[in-house]
Structure 1
């Protein structure tokens, strides 16, 4: 039983780290995208807590600014108009 719990904890931690890295790479635009309209990033953004969403929108606005419309969930947040 202890071995199963260890494997479960490692698997949950690995999944959280992988999803967190993917979200952070979208927010910080490590891929060098021209627009913030990445489907995976936007989907992950929906599941983040409110303070993380606010931070993510501010980071996206700093990167893309007035060059584009805000991605879903960032309208009225992070500097984008409502």
Structure 2
């Protein structure tokens, strides 16, 4: 039983690490804010993490482009 719990915990840590790495790669990129996987990952993150991702994207792409889905204000044309 102890071995099973260790394996499951290790698998959970691996999944969290991979998802976190992909999410951070998206919010720290300088190419485009419109990566579909990155947008979905950012929208699945809890509130403060999602807000941090949107702030990072706004700092990088603010005046250059429209915000990606999930980071737009109510009009869809401005950043949150």
Which TM-score band applies after superposition, normalised by the shorter structure?
0.7 to 0.9
> Are residues 1:46 and 2:46 paired?
no
Question: Given the alignment, which residue of 61, 66, 71 partners 1:64?
Answer: 61
Question: Equivalences for 1:18-29 in 2 at 5 Å?
Answer: 18-29=18-29
Aligned length: 76
1:13 matched residue in structure 2: 13
1:4 matched residue in structure 2: 4
How far apart are 1:51 and its partner, in Å?
1.0
> Which of 1 and 2 has higher RCO (CA within 8 Å, sep 6+)?
1
Unaligned segments of structure 1, at least 5 residues? none
How far apart are 1:67 and its partner, in Å?
0.7
Q: Give the 4+ runs in structure 1 shifted more than 3 A.
A: none
Indicate the RMSD between aligned Cα atoms, in angstroms.
Answer: 1.3
Unaligned segments of structure 2, at least 5 residues? none
User: 1:7–1:64: structure 2 CA closer, same or farther, 3 Å change rule?
Assistant: same
Q: SS state of the match for residue 66, structure 1?
A: coil
